[in-house]
Structure 1
Amino acid sequence: MKLMVIGASRGLGRAFVEGLWEPGDTVIGVSRSRPRDLQCPDGITLQWIEADLAQPSIAAEQIAAQAPADLDVLIHNLGIWEEKAFSDEYAFLEESDAALKQLVDVNITATLMLLRRLLPRVLNATRPQLVLTGSTSALPRSGRPEVAFGASKFALNGIADALREGFRDRRLAVTSLQLGYLNTDDALSVPLTDAAARGAGELVPMHDVITMVRALLRLSPSGFVRELVLPAIADPRY
């Protein structure tokens, strides 16, 4: 399997790189810079493409020029949020035009430009698969006030819906991951019980996300998961 992860240097993206491979796989990470301490075991081919997606046009061309001609799975884990998002200090009316534009450029413009260039490389796979990392902020009545971030994740839902219809005849499996608050402090090397204890049930360990995505990758060509909603068990919104 050839698996590409966009936004792979840290957090969940890094967990995708470290946790989804099987012996013989090729994993291609994409981020602004390659982590120095990231290694895969023998039998796994690890490649890296460095590109700054805050410059969508330039980055899309750089990635397209270096990406393999064929991919089986594309995981698009791209997303930034407002500086004071998810805190009591967040205030939409205090956001600068420049910050709002950058968020839209990274979360929406770069996504569209990358998908236009990379999807043709996925569509020739036996089971072409696209996984988009969304957020529970993109669900109706999410209870979150972050305007630009929420809007960008709603846009991602629209992209996913349109791609399913546009490439249904090519059997493209598009899955949206609607994830709640994550524990990104504890890497996969931390025991699951310890990672799950952080946050007293209000944070989802990345191990759980990896478990679910590994299951997605093992489905037959006749089925797919349209949307996976994974909030924390103690999240009062769900």
Structure 2
Amino acid sequence: MSERIALVTGASRGVGRAVAEGLAERGMTVISGMRTPSGELSVRLDVTDPATISAAAAWIEERFGRLDVLVNNAGISGYTPGRPPGATTVESVREVFETNVLGVVAVTNAMLPLLRRSPAARIVNVSSAVGSLTHQTDPGHYLYGLPPQAAYPASKAALNALTVQYARELAGEGILVNAVTPGPCDTDFTRGLGFDLGRTAQDGARAVVRLATVGPDGPTGGFFDENGRVPW
């Protein structure tokens, strides 16, 4: 049981890839969940497709028998410049929630039987500081300058709430569940937002890797960045 097995969704590029690399550097066997797998330790996984989720769980069970770390990283922004909440379609909001919220539920529930076989399982949900209602209502915070959006911030706030509920359910089983914001870093996802992107994807992955590797006395049900707790 010394070898730890991790699954990272949305691991083909950006922060997800950097998280996979960071966990591998810590000696873990990392399975990269991708829509188009590449490499031996990658698996086809579309978080909006139940068939691929079930097949991925079956593949992990057959090959490894358990899962120690799940990083729910896959996400989409759904951002359309110049389209405020009042001009946003229900369909576009639903699409973002399908990936960023319901996809996390689907993957987590499919992997829970495998995580429960681990002596010290960890779940990390990759969120965003835009999901912080505190930041979004603080005129002094840099995120306050972002244009109002209906889909992405709401999906990440929902993901934070979902994180708390899983943490409450699993606390008695020793499974720690936390949400992490990587912060603005130079990836395809964040370019064009007008931030100073002096940070790399590896910088963004640092807090995710830390929460995925905390010991038994680590936190659960929290929201963190690389500097510590983030206000809800």
Same-fold call, TM > 0.5? yes
TM tier, smaller:
0.7 to 0.9
Partner in structure 2 of residue 119 of structure 1? 112
1:205 lines up with 2:209 in the alignment? no
1:102, CA displacement in angstroms? 1.6
Structure 1 residues without counterparts, runs of 5 or longer: 39-45, 186-198, 232-238
Partner in structure 2 of residue 220 of structure 1? 215
1:146 lines up with 2:177 in the alignment? no
Name the SS of the counterpart of 1:64 in structure 2.
Answer: helix
Across the two proteins, how many residue pairs are aligned to each other?
205
Structure 2 residues without counterparts, runs of 5 or longer: 137-143, 189-193, 228-232
Partner in structure 1 of residue 191 of structure 2? none
* Counterparts of 2:83 and 2:90, CA distance in 1: 15
1:50 lines up with 2:53 in the alignment? no
* Counterparts of 2:72 and 2:26, CA distance in 1: 22
1:135·1:180 contact (CA, 8 Å) conserved in 2? Answer: yes
When residues 95 and 23 of structure 1 are mapped into structure 2, their CA distance, relative to the original with a 3 A threshold, is closer
Partner in structure 2 of residue 82 of structure 1? 78
* Counterparts of 1:167 and 1:104, CA distance in 2: 23
Query: Larger helix proportion, structure 1 or 2?
Result: 2
1:60, CA displacement in angstroms? 2.5
Partner in structure 1 of residue 140 of structure 2? none
1:105 lines up with 2:98 in the alignment? yes
User: Aligned ranges for residues 150-161 of structure 1 at < 5 Å?
Assistant: 150-161=153-164
Structure with the larger RCO, 1 or 2 (CA within 8 Å, 6+ apart): 2
* Counterparts of 1:102 and 1:148, CA distance in 2: 9
Q: TM-score, normalised by structure 1?
A: 0.75
1:176·1:228 contact (CA, 8 Å) conserved in 2? Answer: yes
Name the SS of the counterpart of 1:54 in structure 2.
Answer: coil
1:59, CA displacement in angstroms? 3.1
Name the SS of the counterpart of 2:101 in structure 1.
Answer: helix
Alpha-carbon RMSD across the aligned residues, in angstroms, is 2.5
Partner in structure 1 of residue 69 of structure 2? 73
Name the SS of the counterpart of 1:21 in structure 2.
Answer: helix
